[in-house]
Amino acid sequence: MPVATPAQYRAMLDAAQKGGYAYPAINVTSLPTINGALKAFAEAKSDGIIQVSTGGGEFASGTSVKDMALGAIVLAEAVHILAEKYNILVALHTDHCHPKNVEKFLKPLLAATRARREAGRGNLFNSHMFDGSELPLEENMSVSKALLKECAELDIILEIEAGVVGGEEDGHDTSGVSNDKLYTTPEDMLAVYETLNGIGRFMFAATFGNVHGSYKPGAVKLKPTILRDGQKAVMDKHGAAAEMDLVFHGGSGTPLEEIRETLGYGVIKMNIDTDTQYAFTRPIVDHMMKNYAGVLKIDGEVGDKKAYDPRSYLKKGEQGLCERMKEACDDLLSTGKSLFGTL
């Protein structure tokens, strides 16, 4: 199945919200990571979201080019082609575009979709994220409002963030922010809804103590009830139909009971990156350690071409990522719920 159409993507999010489950959203950087994700979704019979960060796009463009938008386009086009071989729906999304990168990342990707539409083709991406959490809320909402209007004209969903996800990702380090910034207030959630409602469909990454990266149990203090309280504030004032599509950032390493709790509060998408990076790298390290003499030409020997051929270990990384993504589908209750063939 090709990448989901805008209508199919909306149906995916509606089904998750109604059914009390969420989609794993995996950051990809290469063909092996794309293939691992697609294989996982297909084997789990789960629809899912494949996303590209600014750093991932820059990496994919090559170390001599370093063009984050170009790399994102390359990865997205690859997903469009490869997804046709699988009987599930996948959506394409971009992750964490901070204000400084809007002009060199988000705007060129919107232009790419505009060009595709003018040529009679489908959208390049289904949704994009603008992360204005480093800005005062009023300024964040001003920029988000303008971007949502532009996205809505292209039938694209915009994800926004208010409050700060701690830790470090793609060189953006928020580990020094005060603790109160890690928790979105009900007043903030109400302000987001009232600013953006009616312009176009959006997803909201409200923060409840979540942190990028992986930590030992107990190091991160999540408060999922913040999502409950914020949704209640919005729905008490604007009705049940105002329930927002929430996004869980920094999901790697989160206890299962806390993941499941957020599903009851409107989370329909959970980002997973740190855990899948490890799941990809772990079997590659295992390969290198078991085939040390083969992958290196030691003491004048010739090594073992089968061991140092990148395909020999990258396919193991792909499978490791696949297994971790299937676990994510189980955790988020999306396993077996693909809408493929029903829309």
Enumerate the active-site residues. Answer: 95
37 φ/ψ angles, rounded to the nearest 5 degrees: -65, -45
- What are the C-alpha distances in Å from 211 to residues 42, 135, 167, 254, 337? 29, 18, 5, 10, 28
Report the half-sphere exposure of 321 (CA within 13 A, side-chain side).
Answer: 31
For residues 282-300, b (16+ Cβ closer than 10 Å) or e, as one string? ebbeebeeebeebbeeeee
- Using CA atoms, how far apart are residues 340 and 15, in angstroms rounded to an integer? 12
Taking a C-beta distance cutoff of 8 angstroms, is the pair 40, 86 a contact? Answer: no
**β-bridge mates for residue 205, sequence order:** 161
Q: Which two tokens stand for residue 112?
A: 């790419």
